[in-house]
Structure 1
Amino acid sequence: MKFASVMQLFPGCEAEYRRRHDELWPELAEHLDQCGISDYYIFLEPDSLQLFAIFEAGDDFDPERVRSHPVMQRWWNHMADIMETLPDSNEPLARPLTEMFYLAGSCT
């Protein structure tokens, strides 16, 4: 299954957001892998500073398992100063997106 969402970056934080992700903690990458997350992409729309995230996960994907792990909580705390978060939480405000179109094929 594919999951997609939109998040909001604060103005002037583009370079810092990239730097932090370039230095992604190995224990966070391991946690996401153990939760079945793969092919995780995040794109920036520079005019609005919206972040578009998409990843794949198996049918047994459990978002609560991702959220509740201490390393995820630490990462969200680490990122909370540069992006919108949920009220009373450091979890990023991630609005889910609905798939509207998919074209399978090759690039040949």
Structure 2
Amino acid sequence: MIRKAFAMKVFADCHAEYQKRHDEIWPEMVEMLREHGAQSYSIFLDAKTNTLFAYLEIDDEERWGKTAETEICQKWWAYMKDVMETHADHSPVTVELQEVFHLGNK
């Protein structure tokens, strides 16, 4: 299992809308994430800094990397561009985080 973490930014006045959109995530988006190897995916919000912390477990880096090429991912990015920091292609601005500690199950 590969563990990944990254940070993103949500606009200060969009916390509730960001939450709402994820509460109502499209089934086809969930299906695509699973098809591309997402085993577990969580996003946390630090409301004081507008920082989103995402934690993801995948089974294959190359397979996961192809999510951005899917039509549903492109559609999701366009849907989310008004509530968070994004690039010109509407992909979220992300900062990959380095794992410095992990206490796993034995």
TM-score by length of 2: 0.93
For structure 1, which runs of at least 5 residues remain unmatched after alignment?
none
Kept in 2: contact 1:35–1:61 (CA 8 A):
no
Task: State the 1:61 CA deviation.
Answer: 4.0
Change (3 A) 1:82 1:35: same
Runs of 4+ in 1 over 2 A off after TM superposition: 59-64
* 1:38 to partner: Cα distance: 1.7
Alpha carbons 1:6, 1:97 under 8 Å: kept? yes
Amino acid at match of 2:91: E
The residue aligned with 2:51 is 50
Shift of 1:103: 1.5
Return the alpha-carbon distance in structure 2 between the equivalents of residues 82 and 32 of structure 1. Answer: 21
1:7 paired residue number: 8
Give the structure 2 partner of residue 37 of structure 1.
38
Normalized per residue, the structure richer in helix is 2
Whether contact under 8 Å (1:8, 1:93) holds in the other structure is yes
Residue of structure 1 in register with 2:103 after alignment: 103
Residue equivalent to 2:93:
93
RMSD over aligned Cα atoms: 1.4
TM-score, reference length from structure 1: 0.91
- Structure 2 residue runs of 5 or longer lacking an equivalent are none
List per-residue Cα deviations over 1:13-60 (Å, max 9, x = no partner). Answer: 010000000000000000000001121000001100100001100135
State percent identity of aligned pairs. 37
Give the conservation status (yes or no) of the 8 Å contact 1:36–1:61.
no
Higher normalized strand content (fraction of residues): 2
